[in-house]
Structure 1
Amino acid sequence: MNLKQLSQMLQLSQTTVSRALNGYPEVNEDTRRRVADAAKRHGYRPNPSARRLATGKTGMIGYVMPTGATVDIDPHFVEFLSGLGDFARSHELDLVLSPTAADEEETTYRRIVANKQVDAVYVSSPCPADKRLTLLDQLHIPYIVHGRSEGLDFAYPFLDIDNEGAFHEAARLLIQLGHNRIALVNGEDWKTFAIHRERGVRKALNAGGLALPDHRLISNAMTDENGYRATRRLFEQDDKPTAIICSSLFMTLGVMRALRDLNLAVPADVSVIAHDDVFPWLKPENFSVPLTTTRSSIRAAGARVAERLVARLSELEDGARGEVWPVDLVVRGSIAGAPPGA
């Protein structure tokens, strides 16, 4: 079925049908839904070249992906991409990955915008005063940031979780259980999410008259091996922690392995709280001791970023709105009161 046949069947003009399928805001929601349902039912697919000529849009969302020997593909990214891809597919959008060397990101952004390769982009793992956001603001391409930056002199659209609040509540719960030697095994300290998580832990400790000394804060890429090494370092100290807050389930795999090698029991000797991005293949309740977690779905975040990008392309959203999701604290068997005499 072509556009003309679809419009005749619906008794609508070809212009109205085309605008409904391409998300133009002047088409009311009932008409948009009626056209979309009919197109799906009869197998209508717009010709990509014709749609680009008619609308000036490619139907593609872009992501500039740093690659190279020093860059690991993060499982968090894969799960996020699954959520984004599911939503994009349902709205007939494609995702374009543009690999680039870490020091050539700016050149790659300029190229894909100049060549009109994509309609919009999303940015992940922002850092303070992130130069990518300054560039995208200057290039005037629709974008959404997954996470937040700090220290910029302009507002920008973003979706983030309340990292500071989540880790504040985790630390506060441990303090209520009598722990006064709490360690934080965090992500890389140049990323804003890790800064916010450290800030949340420090605020809770300060409110309880406690501190987070340098030797009980370890920041690194969130891998199993780094979690293991961090835990071994923590227990080389004289004032060993009685509780660990960990920024990732993947790091927590290493944390639990190290504690087992040190013959330390969870939670009798050490309490553990981890952050859980909700992975279908790695569940906190399936650890040897079910893990207490701060919990938020990264797949749902991916879908929401795609939804907001579609809204921006359809002119249903504009401006620089920030969106911060609350984080659940799910208590399981990995925490208990501080050991006697600790």
Structure 2
Amino acid sequence: MNLKELSDFLKLSPTTVSRAINGYPEVSEATRKRVVEAAEANNYHPSHLASGLAKGKAMAIGHVIPLSKHMVMNPHFSDFISGAGDVYCKAGYDMLIRVVAEGEEESVYKKLAKDGRVDGVIVHGPSNYDARIEALQDIGIPFVVHGRTNQDESTYNWVDVNNVRAFKRATNYLLDLGHRDIAFINGFEFMNFAMRRRSGYEEALHEASIEINPEIMFTGEMTEPQGYESMKQLLKRAKPPTAILLSSILPSMGAMRAVQEAGLTVGKDVSIVTFDDQLSFLQNSGDIPMFTSVRSSIRDAGVRVAEILLDQINQPKADPYHELWEAELVLGKSTGRPVSV
């Protein structure tokens, strides 16, 4: 039995039946009881879409992804979506993913809001200054940013890892081992997370009175080939660095490949510290993990961002919510004291 059939059976409007099932106070207790008993007797189970319509909601969350950032092909995005999707499913929400050309996000947000297609959106991969923040604030649709920008972060909802502290801690760990020539392979630094990671690396070197050397610092898309090509360049130097700090486990795999091709040993001849997001398809695990890493689960971040967004949808007048996570330093096989020490 569907909603219309149940409504006809009870000789009530579909709106009244839906509101009765969902506990709206304007429906009398007697009517609510009659509707609930009839629904149970006739094995009627309301869809979340029907429930959403009764509550004036779309029961869907939007993810608008610009093509230029390759987010859909990014395994980090896949893990995030896995975590967020679990939350949506349990709460009866659908997920709407819209892939658009760069620069078209704002028009898509406006259309989604105007058409009532989604109740809120997640902002992925924020840049240092991100026009999407002000656009969504102007539109008035609830949103949560996975990460932060350099804009006033008190005015919007966000969940982020303390990237500055994580990379300062990782750099200090290498310094404590005796390394002084520490290279850095980062993501694109117009992305806010990458800018903060560089800041942590540079702060540690500055406090250790070590001169920052731009020639052993690389930025780019965090892929296995990026790590491989960057590592090959570093090994060609007259004095190669003894340690490398990388922004993702993916380029770290490439860096390891380059080190091994050169006949060297990771953890002995070259130390590697990575940022490991505990990717579902590439676990840095075991009693002694392959890589020393600063670790934060991106799947857990997806869960938390989704939870916060649903809270904001249900409490639209609530103040912006912020959550800053600390990364865990996990020691693995990829680090050791430099050979000369």
TM range (shorter): 0.7 to 0.9
Distance 1:281 1:317 in 2: 39
SS at match of 1:179: coil
Aligned to 2:93: 93
Larger radius of gyration: 2
SS at match of 1:283: coil
Q: Amino acid of the residue matched to residue 18 of structure 1? A: N
Distance 1:136 1:17 in 2: 33
Distance 2:185 2:213 in 1: 13
Aligned to 1:44: 45
Distance 1:312 1:62 in 2: 14
SS at match of 2:273: strand
- Residues 241 and 19 (structure 1 numbering): CA distance in 2 closer, same or farther, change over 3 Å? farther
Distance 1:182 1:139 in 2: 45
After superposition, what is the alpha-carbon deviation per residue over 1:291-317, rounded to whole angstroms, capped at 9, x for unaligned? Answer: 101111111110111111111111188
After superposition, what is the alpha-carbon deviation per residue over 1:52-78, rounded to whole angstroms, capped at 9, x for unaligned? Answer: 442210000001112269776111000
Structure 1: 5+ residue stretches without partners: 6-12, 25-34
Report the Cα offset of residue 113 of structure 1: 1.4
Distance 2:147 2:231 in 1: 27
- Residues 58 and 323 (structure 1 numbering): CA distance in 2 closer, same or farther, change over 3 Å? same
Contact 1:266–1:289 under 8 Å retained in 2: no
Aligned to 1:141: 141
2:26 maps to 1:18: no
SS at match of 2:264: coil
Report the Cα offset of residue 89 of structure 1: 0.5
Distance 2:60 2:123 in 1: 15
Contact 2:72–2:78 under 8 Å retained in 1: no
For the aligned residue pairs, the C-alpha RMSD in angstroms reads 2.8
Distance 1:319 1:189 in 2: 30
Contact 2:48–2:93 under 8 Å retained in 1: no
Distance 1:322 1:47 in 2: 29
Distance 2:175 2:264 in 1: 20
- Residues 69 and 62 (structure 1 numbering): CA distance in 2 closer, same or farther, change over 3 Å? closer
Contact 1:163–1:197 under 8 Å retained in 2: yes
Aligned to 1:234: 234
Superposition map of 1:244-283 within 5 A: 244-283=244-283
Distance 1:15 1:239 in 2: 73
In terms of mean alpha carbon deviation, does 288-297 or 101-110 score higher? 288-297
TM, length-normalised to structure 1: 0.85
Superposition map of 1:110-129 within 5 A: 110-129=110-129
- Residues 337 and 68 (structure 1 numbering): CA distance in 2 closer, same or farther, change over 3 Å? closer
- Residues 316 and 70 (structure 1 numbering): CA distance in 2 closer, same or farther, change over 3 Å? closer
2:201 maps to 1:201: yes
Aligned to 1:28: none
- Residues 138 and 289 (structure 1 numbering): CA distance in 2 closer, same or farther, change over 3 Å? closer
Superposition map of 1:167-178 within 5 A: 167-178=167-178
Structure 2: 5+ residue stretches without partners: 8-16, 26-35
Report the Cα offset of residue 224 of structure 1: 0.5
Q: Amino acid of the residue matched to residue 160 of structure 2? A: D
Distance 1:316 1:140 in 2: 10
Distance 1:198 1:69 in 2: 20
Report the Cα offset of residue 98 of structure 1: 1.3
- Residues 273 and 188 (structure 1 numbering): CA distance in 2 closer, same or farther, change over 3 Å? same
Distance 1:210 1:303 in 2: 40
TM, length-normalised to structure 2: 0.85
Distance 2:209 2:65 in 1: 43
Report the Cα offset of residue 15 of structure 1: 4.6
After superposition, what is the alpha-carbon deviation per residue over 1:19-41, rounded to whole angstroms, capped at 9, x for unaligned? Answer: 58xxx9xxxxxxxxxx9xx99xx
Distance 1:201 1:211 in 2: 12
Distance 1:266 1:115 in 2: 54
Contact 2:66–2:100 under 8 Å retained in 1: yes
After superposition, what is the alpha-carbon deviation per residue over 1:317-341, rounded to whole angstroms, capped at 9, x for unaligned? Answer: 8222211011100011211112216
**Number of residue equivalences:** 316
Between the two proteins, what is the percent identity of the paired residues? 33
SS at match of 2:104: helix
- Residues 147 and 19 (structure 1 numbering): CA distance in 2 closer, same or farther, change over 3 Å? farther
After superposition, what is the alpha-carbon deviation per residue over 1:251-292, rounded to whole angstroms, capped at 9, x for unaligned? Answer: 111010011111221111111111111123212247x98210
Aligned to 2:30: none
Aligned to 1:160: 160
Contact 1:275–1:294 under 8 Å retained in 2: yes
2:84 maps to 1:80: no
Distance 2:312 2:289 in 1: 44
- Residues 325 and 43 (structure 1 numbering): CA distance in 2 closer, same or farther, change over 3 Å? farther
Contact 1:129–1:152 under 8 Å retained in 2: no
2:56 maps to 1:56: yes
Runs of 4+ with >4 A deviation = 1-5, 13-17, 68-72
